[in-house]
Amino acid sequence: MLLVEPYYGGSHASWVDGIKKHSKHKITCVTHPDSYWRWRLRGGAVTLAEETKAAVTTVGKIDLALVSSMVDLSAWLGLTRKTLKDIPTVLYLHENQLNYPVKPGEKINDEFAITNWRSLLAADEIWFNSDFQRQALFQALPSLLHKAPDFSHEYLITEVKKRTRVVPVGVELQDLQGSKRKEEIPLILWNQRWDYDKNPEEIASSILQLADEKIDFNIALVGENVRNNPHELLEVRDQLGERVVEFGFLPRDDYLRLLNKADVVISAAKHEFFGISVVEALAAGAIPVLPNHQSYPEIIPEPWHTSALYTPGELVDRLRDVLLNLDTWSSTTEGLVQEMQKYDWSVMIDTYDSLIESVINEYGHNL
């Protein structure tokens, strides 16, 4: 199998590495670094196609291509048609450009959304990391395609949707302990990418408000920083000093140690199609304080919705209550550690391997 990842870094890299490590199939990877995402969508197909040709020369026949979504799949298939022939091709959507929130001051640009649409059309199957993303994309497609001056593609939406399925990302959970109440002073964890769509402003203001109220806690603000000046997070560090026990990106071993110490994991994300970092924290035993939208109601099973999810505008109130009544909230979220195990790669890889075989059998030649 050929595994193509145009944006190899972060959660995309974890996905690639997990498949390669755990799958029973022989995996050949073609990747580009996780930079210049616009160029990956505009021009990545050309260089990925060249690397694909070189890979096939080395390894020989390919039975299936599993391609991540940060590329124009239609262009890549066109450029590799003589090398790959007509092999079954699966498009995996970690995210899409139809639903990605626009930064303040930026204008909506349909170029990359249309690129995603062409990729959907070109794939034999389309796998989404969550049903939340799948539903959001198909809700957004009609208004995008309705903008066409003529020859609208709207009539193709139903046919494309029939070729979709939800295949969550696998997560490495074996090194997480799943224990409760680990720190004498409650340790809050915010472990998301430092960008506008993860809403660091609300995280920072909530933490500072609770600190002003003299509530006892420490805080770890960790994740990939993609901004030149994460001013609101810097303000938290400056005002709280030693209470900020971690700040910035951590090596994997240090991050695992932090996960196993965290008492509470928080999010205020405006955009989340899956949430690997939240799954990791829950598997380590952290109490979730998460918004009741995005992918979170899908990740959190329904019996825990009341205890794990808050309505917009209630982050401060919920977090305050959790910190002041940690044992009570810990008992109400009992069982989530075990629920997260379904996302472990040791479990998820059986789904991937089975689907790989079924796609090959349906669209290509038998293994």
Q: Domain extents for the chain?
A: 2-170+345-363, 187-343
In contact, 348 and 170? CB cutoff 8 Å? yes
Task: Match 């030693």 to its residue by tokens.
Answer: 242
Segment 127-181, tens digit of pLDDT: 999 999 999 999 999 999 999 999 999 999 999 999 999 999 999 999 998 876 6
What is the rounded distance in angstroms from the CA atom of residue 177 to the CA atom of residue 341?
Answer: 12
Task: Match 């999810």 to its residue by tokens.
Answer: 309
User: Which 8-state DSSP code applies to residue 207?
Assistant: H
Helical ranges in the chain per DSSP H: 10-22, 37-59, 73-79, 81-84, 111-122, 131-145, 157-161, 200-212, 231-240, 252-259, 276-283, 296-299, 305-308, 315-324, 326-332, 336-339, 345-363
What is the rounded distance in angstroms from the CA atom of residue 186 to the CA atom of residue 335?
Answer: 20
Segment 76-114, tens digit of pLDDT: 999 999 999 999 999 999 999 999 888 777 887 899 999
* Distance spanning both ends of the chain, measured CA to CA: 11
* Of 98, 166, 86, 184, nearest in space to 126 by CA: 166
What is the rounded distance in angstroms from the CA atom of residue 364 to the CA atom of residue 63?
Answer: 7
Q: Rounded to the nearest 5°, which phi and psi values hold at 90?
A: -115, 130
* Of 292, 293, 284, nearest in space to 220 by CA: 284
- 2-170+345-363 CATH: 3.40.50.2000
Q: What is the model's pTM?
A: 0.95
User: Does residue 29 sit in helix, strand or coil?
Assistant: strand
Segment 328-365, tens digit of pLDDT: 999 999 999 999 999 999 999 999 999 999 999 998 75
- 187-343 CATH: 3.40.50.2000
**CA 6, 278, 303, 350 torsion: positive or negative?**
positive
* Of 254, 249, 283, 288, nearest in space to 174 by CA: 283
Sequence-distant (6+) residues with CB within 8 A of 362 are 88, 124
319's torsion region: left (phi>0), alpha (psi -120 to 50) or beta?
Answer: alpha
pLDDT at 184: 87
pLDDT at 182: 63
Segment 184-214, tens digit of pLDDT: 899 999 999 999 999 999 999 999 999 999 9
* Of 198, 217, 233, nearest in space to 324 by CA: 217
What is the rounded distance in angstroms from the CA atom of residue 118 to the CA atom of residue 128?
Answer: 16
- Mean residue pLDDT of the chain comes to 95
In contact, 117 and 69? CB cutoff 8 Å? no
